[in-house]
Structure 1
Amino acid sequence: MVESLCDRLGYEFRNRALLLNALCHASFCNEQARLGLNNNERLEFLGDAVLELIVSHMLMESYKEAEEGMLSRYRAALVDETGLHQVAKEIELGEYIFLGKGEESSGGREKPSILADAVEALIGAVYLDGGFEAARTVVVKLFSSHVEELGRKEVIHDFKSLLQELTQQRYKTVPDYRLVEEWGPPHDKVFRVSLRIRGEVVSHGEGKSKKEAEQKAAEVAYLSMRKG
């Protein structure tokens, strides 16, 4: 089964345990605790950092005249939940993820947050298995067309990056996002964050992931500040 995923990645794992680890969602590990499996969250953490570095270099090479602010928005559009979800769909990653029964029944294979996290975990696994060059090759394969497409888009709606630029210009500071509440069952949580600028709460946002909630809070704050 995983052979076809390796073909789509363009990479053959020497240590298949890393690949399986990258595909294990926390819900599966919790339900199958007797197997002693690790979920993919640590690999996701590593993959996030590796991905940002490689994508940053790709953007520097592709958009040599772009200023730092534009490059930041481009990168955010590629590696945010929406961008990663698109990549996951292209390689049909949802088919391969190990999910718990509850997550499976609630449509977990289609959830953007789960798919986006799995992309990062896969990149982290490739990095540990084959090193930086192997990870770079996989990222280039998966993201090259998206990097090229950015140049044809007029607007990148990444409000977190837009807001950060604006607050740095006006106040010489950056926004502070804080998780204030979460509710719902483990497979269908809702997160609420507050957004502070210079210590003052200026907006709130809710979403199915912390990233989505932060993005919504940033949108409210950014549009309000632009009007002001």
Structure 2
Amino acid sequence: MDEKTNYIENVEKRLNICFKDKELIEIALTHSSYANGRKNVKFNERLEFLGDSVLQLCISEYLFSMYKNKPEGELTKKRSLIVCENSLYEIARKWDIGKYIKMSRGEELTGGRERTSILADCVEAIIAAVHVDFGYERARKFIIDNFNGIIQKAMENKIVLDYKTRLQEILQKNGDVSIDYVLISYDGPPHRRKFYTEVCMDKNVLGKGMGYSKKESEQNAAHNALNKLDFKTSGRV
């Protein structure tokens, strides 16, 4: 078995699907940076364009048929949570797809394999590859099987996109309190710095977070605090 065949088979195992046209999944996993300077290398932006539409339609149909008593406005809000970049990133992490994406060395050194936008775009491209290779019904099943957990969280108001704001709302519900985000340390090379942050209330540490920017580490610290405090989140804030 050659290296390319092994690579594709490993991806298929992660996705639990076997492609008829192996080139489709290879293109879906190729970032534009990898194609730069290489002749006749196709990358995933066209598939991403198609996958976005397939995902939107599939989730719209599913919500329409499964939640018959929900008004249009509420369904629109739920759909926006399910198909948002953060949700796509969560799917990509579940598949561990970052390590399979073909990208330039420079993109990789600057954190491309964990960049939310790159991973989210790759998920859309993979959805398109399934659609092109097998048709809409198979793509629909693939989407619902993989997004079911996110759909449930969205319908139960358990998706929060801004953990810092949500934490502040909860902690200050009964009056003002002092909430501080403290950068504890950072490490790694300049192009791949990791930041470690604690969120404190009145000098008591509530949560800790790591991120590849100060903003990301603060959001993760707030998320950690919400989990520790066992608060139920109440949707997008």
Tell me the TM-score normalised to structure 2 length.
Answer: 0.62
Q: For residue 123 of structure 1, report the CA deviation from its aligned partner.
A: 0.6
Q: For residue 79 of structure 1, report the CA deviation from its aligned partner.
A: 1.0
Aligned position for 1:13: 19
Q: Write out per-residue CA displacement over residues 179-216 of structure 1, whole angstroms, 9 at most, x where no aligned residue.
A: xxxxxxxxxxxxxxxxxxxxxxxxxxxxxxxxxxxxxx
Segments of structure 2 that go 5 or more residues without pairing to the other structure are 1-6, 163-237
Q: Write out per-residue CA displacement over residues 133-171 of structure 1, whole angstroms, 9 at most, x where no aligned residue.
A: 12112101110111112122167669xxxxxxxxxxxxx
Aligned position for 1:89: 93
Q: Identity across aligned pairs (percent)?
A: 40
Provide the rounded CA distance (Å) in 1 between the counterparts of 2:132 and 2:113: 25
Count of matched residue positions in the alignment of Structure 1 and Structure 2: 157
Q: For residue 44 of structure 1, report the CA deviation from its aligned partner.
A: 0.3
Aligned position for 1:148: 152
Q: State the Cα RMSD in Å.
A: 1.9
Segments of structure 1 that go 5 or more residues without pairing to the other structure are 159-228
The structure showing larger relative contact order (alpha-carbon pairs under 8 Å, at least 6 residues apart) is 1
* Secondary structure of the structure 2 residue equivalent to 1:113: helix
Q: Which of residues 95, 101, 105 in structure 1 aligns to 2:105?
A: 101
Larger Rg: 2
- Alignment check: 8 A CA contact 2:35 2:41 kept: yes
Provide the rounded CA distance (Å) in 2 between the counterparts of 1:155 and 1:143: 13
Provide the rounded CA distance (Å) in 2 between the counterparts of 1:5 and 1:100: 19
Provide the rounded CA distance (Å) in 1 between the counterparts of 2:97 and 2:86: 14
| Residue 44, structure 1, aligned to residue 51, structure 2 | no
Q: Cα distance 1:106–1:123, how it changes in 2: closer, same or farther (>3 A)? A: same
Aligned position for 2:131: 127
Q: Write out per-residue CA displacement over residues 42-74 of structure 1, whole angstroms, 9 at most, x where no aligned residue.
A: 000000000101111121233222111111111
